[in-house]
Amino acid sequence: MPSEFLKVKSQLPMLGIGIGLRNEICRDIMQNEREIDFLEFVPENYSRNIVSTNWLSDYAERFCLVPHSVSLSIGSVDPLDSSILMMEREFARLFDVPWWSDHLCFSGVGGESGHDLFPLIWTEEAVKHVSERAKRVQDYVEKPFALENIPYYTRAPKGDFDEAEFITRVLEEADCGLLLDLNNLLVNSLNHNFDPFAFLDRIPLERVVQIHMAGHTKFGKRIVDTHGAALSDKVYELFDYTLKKHPQVNSVMIERDQMFPSFNELLCELRKLREIWNKHQSPIVKKDGTVSSEDRVPGVLPPKLVSEMANLDSVTHNISLEEPSREATASEDEAGNTSLGAAEEPHQLSEYQMNWFTHWKNSKGYTPDKVDNKNFRPKFARSFVGSKNMDLRAFSIYAWLRDSNLDALMQAIFPATFRLIQSKWAEILERYFYDFNPPFYSLTDCGDHFPEFLSKHYLQFTKTHPHLKELADFELTTWKVGRTHEITDLSDEVYLGNADQIKNCRPVINPEVVVREFTYPVHLMAQSNFALNAETAGKKIYIAFLPHRFSSTEVTLSDTAASLIEQTRPGKLSYSQLIASVLTPEKRQSPNEIAAMIELFQRMHESKIFISCERFRDIPVKTGWEIYYESVKDEEPHSTLMRAIGFFKESGVNAGQAIDLGSGAGRDTKFLLNAGWKVFSVDSSGESLKRLEALDESTSGSLTCCLADFVEVQLPQADLVNASLSLPFCEPDRFSDLWNNICTSLKSGGRFSGHFFGRNDDWASNSKMTFHDRKELESMFSDFVVEWLEEVEGPMPLASGGIKHGHWFEVVSRKK
Ligand SMILES: [Fe+2]
């Protein structure tokens, strides 16, 4: 029968060279968009909350996304998990993916998961079982489906075929695609001693839609597919060989899951893959050197499905995920399949899978007190011993993998807790996982019961470490909040103005904020070398956790702030009502108390606990910058700039080229233009740009505006760089680049005028801003003649109308 899949494949896009989307490299991926043609993602990591789906959407706007799931367990004799398939279908529709994939394996049986990819028995019965299920899942998800060859560390009992023939039969019977993992093939060939090139000669390469490339690690005599090392020469050779035999492979990508190197190393690997790719087929290159998303063809349904699915929704509902009835199986038997004809429960596949899990289940029979017996160290290895037909010694690698995965993950979640109970860690983990076997493949929930478990079973620690449970709770919350991903699209910063302006407005709380109460300063204890003392113990403390770049940011809260959050959650109270809820009637009359409350609200906006300000009556609420610019637009230019212009005049220079960094309302830019200077103004606020453009109309081309973060702008050569109160807003790790740019752009004899914030400033704890002391400034200006350096400390008015304690340096310097 002609293959429908191959017809469909001929219309699928040639995606090119991609990489797996992982938290650790997500920022690098965005920054190196030009080198990456597509991204593969694991749907299980994003399916359980809308925030992470939104996060994923940001990537979908810039890359083609391809889902690769890990939980389908397509070879299991258990019924298919409809929740996983619904998730696949949701993502497939949401991102219009070209295809999706999972592994040719089973991961569990009897409703239990083994948290790994287990090899199937290579029999005719398994071919029928898997291919029939593959057809059903492909129909259900409505996108072409590919199965991946897995690494295996023990062989299943001897079946009817070898692996190459088994894979070929499954793909042809299911009429689906192959995700060819060349590292898995290499690892298997090394562990089980066969020729990987001969293997490639025997499988249907015309069905390959995607190739996985990864690194492996040698442990003793075993080679393990760790995804934690560089791609080996051999795996490149296999890639070259595959494309030489069959160039029409749609994509290749790197799977890297641990031991991440610098992203440059991964880029080198991507470039090497592209070189090999280009050798065998037309390069995927567009005008700008990258793949254009407009040109890509989305996943195409098999023609048969297109005609059958005139009404997709109703048809989808009719696709049954139930296993076929015994009658259906019998009719297939009559069609000539003797193996299935003899199928009686339990058939061979079922028996094999049950055997695999038998000891695992039985091992639950041991009691926790045996853990203390030195002779009984129930490593997970014992959990996985299968039937007598299996290679039991080799089999323990699965146990070792699970052991080490869980151990590493638990240490990552609970680093400080681990430091406290290190001597008993292994024993505690064994007993913990005996009680709470993680139900989900990705293991992200494996620490959920740990704080509770510690407090119940390890009382001996609580005498010496009374804060143990709280510390574990703190670390678990940090982990969990971090996994929900950062909300990147927060509304414009809100500056509240005064009590009158806020009375008809209400704050909107960040839905991802978690507030927890502790009796120990666990946020400090989580750092190493913190010693508990009588002063810090037993004092109630509230901590707000906010998702921040796959970790969490913790903000300690006053009782008042914690109470405000509690009352704001339902979203009904205005700022005025909130003030009334925490201040006594007398205090409500005091302007100082009200001002302090508004400042507290402002701080909660700045820390993103409150994320926007909603107007519910007809009083316009301006954004902070609008209010601020309006209030300062007619003010004099900053004194530092006036001084610099004075110094220029003294030396006979009346005008030249100036750069105004962070030009804001334009008061300095305006002054410079009026004085006859040409000005290159940079600001990242659209509001600022609007104001500057209005200025430009009257300056006949002396002004060049640039809407950008000034760290990223290529600055022109200039006689003057002016940065009034703007440089402190640069993030610390980008500051030295910025300063180098400024110094390079200044001509010899040119001047810098501007401000730096000192460390006594109220904002000094803000990790996204840069602060300096006098010594650091002196070293920054070592190539300058410092003409003016004034250190100022005192109250500084805020755009919000409040006041903070300010500490800043005013500088005017001439470059030597
Ligand atoms: Fe793979």
CATH of the domain at 584: 3.90.930.50
Q: Which of 784, 751, 717, 744 is nearest to 648 (CA)?
A: 751
- 318-329 per-position pLDDT tens digit: 445 555 544 444
| pLDDT given for residue 135 in this prediction | 94
Please give the average per-residue pLDDT across 363-389, as a whole number. 38
Distance in Å, CA 253 to ligand 1 centroid: 9
Instruction: Using alpha carbons, list the distances in angstroms from residue 308 to 138, 237, 300.
Output: 14, 43, 14
Distance, CA 148 to ligand 1 centroid (Å)? 7
Query: Is 126:75 a contact under the CB 8 Å cutoff?
Result: yes
Distance from Cα 442 to the centre of ligand 1, integer Å: 15
- Residue 211 CA to ligand 1 center (angstroms) comes to 8
CB proximity list for 66: less than 8 A, separation 6 or greater: 15, 18, 38, 39, 40, 41, 97, 98, 99, 100, 101, 210, 251
Supply the angle between the helices 392-413 and 425-435 in degrees, to the nearest 10.
100
Say how far apart CA 187 and CA 185 lie, in whole Å: 6
Best CA proximity match to 417, nearest among 371, 450, 442, 460: 450
Same domain for 395 and 267:
no
> 583 to each of 109, 385, 579, 604, how far by Cα in Å?
60, 66, 6, 17
Task: Report the C-alpha gap between 114 and 108 in whole angstroms.
Answer: 5
Q: What's at 237, amino acid-wise?
A: E
Query: Does residue 755 surpass a pLDDT of 60?
Result: yes
Beta strands in 78-140 (DSSP E): 100-103, 106-109, 112-118
The burial class, CB within 10 Å (0-12 / 13-18 / 19+), for 81 is: middle
pLDDT, one tens digit per residue, over 173-230 is: 999 999 999 999 999 999 889 999 999 999 999 999 999 999 998 877 778 888 989 9
Q: How confident is the model at residue 234 (pLDDT cuts 50, 70, 90)?
A: very high
CB atoms closer than 10 angstroms to residue 796: 18
Helix/strand/coil for 749: strand
730: DSSP letter: S
Asked, for residue 326, whether it belongs to a domain, the answer is no
CA pair distance 421, 789, nearest whole angstrom: 53
Domain limit, last residue, from 578, 596, 621: 621
CB within 8 Å of 812: residues ≥ 6 apart: 640, 643, 644, 647, 751, 752, 753, 786, 787, 788
Q: How many structural domains comprise the chain?
A: 4
User: Which region holds residue 442: left if phi is over 0, alpha if psi is between -120 and 50, else beta?
Assistant: alpha
The dihedral built from the CA positions of residue 104, 110, 115 and 116, taken in this order, carries a sign that is: negative
Residue 649 and residue 613 in one domain: no
The sheet with strand 100-103 has its strands ordered as: 64-67, 38-41, 16-20, 251-254, 208-213, 177-181, 145-148, 100-103
257 shares a domain with 110: yes
In a domain, 147, yes or no: yes
Residue 333 resides in a domain: no
| pLDDT for residue 364 | 37
Q: Is residue 562 part of a domain?
A: yes
State the pLDDT at residue 263.
Answer: 95
- 291 confidence band (pLDDT: 50, 70, 90): very low
Among 621, 647, 664, residue at a domain's last position: 621
Give residue 191 CA to ligand 1 midpoint distance, Å: 17
Give the residue from 574, 605, 621 where a domain finishes. Answer: 621
Q: What is the mean pLDDT of residues 292-313?
A: 36
Which pLDDT band holds residue 309 (cuts at 50, 70, 90)?
A: very low
User: Are 607 and 696 members of one domain?
Assistant: no
Q: How far is the CA of 240 from the centre of ligand 1 (A)?
A: 18
**Ligand 1 centroid from CA 179, angstroms:** 8
- How much distance in Å is there from the Cα of 182 to the middle of ligand 1? 8
d(CA 714, CA 695) in angstroms, rounded, equals 23
Is 258 part of a structural domain of the chain? yes
Residues 422 and 533 in one domain: no
Q: How far is the CA of 333 from the centre of ligand 1 (A)?
A: 34
Inside any domain, residue 385: yes
> How far apart are the CA of 252 and the centre of ligand 1, in A?
11
Residue 648 to residue 642: CA distance in whole angstroms: 10
CATH number at residue 255: 3.20.20.150
Burial 453-470 (b: 16+ CB within 10 A, else e): bbbeebeebeeebebbbb
Q: What is the DSSP letter of 156?
A: P
> In which residue are the tokens 């109703």 written?
314
Count CB neighbours of 587 within 10 A.
Answer: 14
616 pLDDT band (50/70/90 cuts)?
A: low
CB-based contacts of 626: which residues, under 8 Å, 6+ apart? 687
Same domain? For 609 and 707 the reply is no
Residue 341 lies inside a defined structural domain of this protein: no
Distance between Cα 243 and ligand 1 center (Å): 18
CA 184–ligand 1 middle distance (angstroms): 7
CATH of the domain at 808: 3.40.50.150
Whole-number average pLDDT of the chain = 79
> Rounded to whole angstroms, how far apart are CA atoms 432 and 769?
43
Task: Say yes or no: 610 and 759 in one domain.
Answer: no
How many Å lie between the centroid of ligand 1 and the Cα of residue 365?
35
Locate 353 and state its tokens: 């899978």
Tell me the CA–centroid distance for residue 289 and ligand 1, in Å. 27
User: Which two structure tokens, joined as six digits, stand for 475?
Assistant: 């670390």
Predicted confidence at residue 9, as pLDDT, reads: 94
Ligand 1 center from residue 114 Cα (angstroms): 18
- Distance of CA 188 from the midpoint of ligand 1 (Å): 13
CA of 483 to the centre of ligand 1 (A): 23
Distance 227 CA to ligand 1 centre (A): 9
Do 614 and 664 have their domain in common?
Answer: no
Sign of CA dihedral 502, 806, 552, 33: positive
**Cα–Cα distance, 146 to 71 (Å, whole number):** 14
Cα 259 to ligand 1 centroid, rounded to whole Å: 17
Range of 70's domain? 4-318
Q: Are 407 and 446 in contact (CB under 8 A)?
A: no
Q: Compute, in degrees rounded to 10, the torsion defined by CA atoms 32, 37, 41, 46.
A: 60
Cα 268 to averaged position of ligand 1 atoms, centre (Å): 20
Q: Say whether 146 sits in a helix, a strand or coil.
A: strand
Sign of CA dihedral 760, 764, 769, 775: positive
CA of 133 to the centre of ligand 1 (A): 21
Output DSSP code: residue 659: E
Q: How far is the CA of 165 from the centre of ligand 1 (A)?
A: 20
pLDDT at 237 over 70: yes
Backbone angles phi, psi at 369, to 5 degrees: -65, -20
Give me ligand 1 centre to Cα 682, in Å. 46
- Within-domain flag for 481: no
DSSP run (H or E) holding 785: strand 784-797
State the distance from the centre of ligand 1 to the C-alpha of 225, rounded, in angstroms: 9
Whether residue 684 sits in one domain with residue 613: no
Determine the Cα–Cα distance for residues 729 and 720; give it in Å rounded to an integer. 20
Based on the fold, state whether residues 608 and 646 are members of the same structural domain.
no
Please tell me the distance from the alpha carbon of residue 694 to that of residue 89, in angstroms, as a whole number.
Answer: 50
Q: How far is the CA of 648 from the centre of ligand 1 (A)?
A: 65
217 CA from centroid of ligand 1 (Å): 15
Same domain, 117 and 143: yes
Give mean pLDDT, residues 772-796: 90
Residue 116 has pLDDT above 60, yes or no: yes
CA 222 to centroid of ligand 1, rounded, Å? 18
Residue 79 Cα to ligand 1 midpoint, Å, equals: 24
Terminal Cα-to-Cα distance of the chain (whole angstroms): 82
Expressed in angstroms and rounded, the spacing between residue 42 Cα and the centre of ligand 1 is 11
- Give tens-digit pLDDT for 417-473: 998 888 888 888 878 877 776 654 455 678 888 999 988 877 767 667 778 889 999
Confidence bin at 526 (pLDDT 50/70/90): confident
Residue 615 has pLDDT above 50, yes or no: yes
What token pair was written down for 646? 């004075």
For tokens 């090392």, what's the residue? 229
CA–CA gap between residue 761 and residue 499 (Å, rounded): 25
Same domain, 103 and 57: yes
Q: For residue 64, give the H/E element and its range.
A: strand 64-67
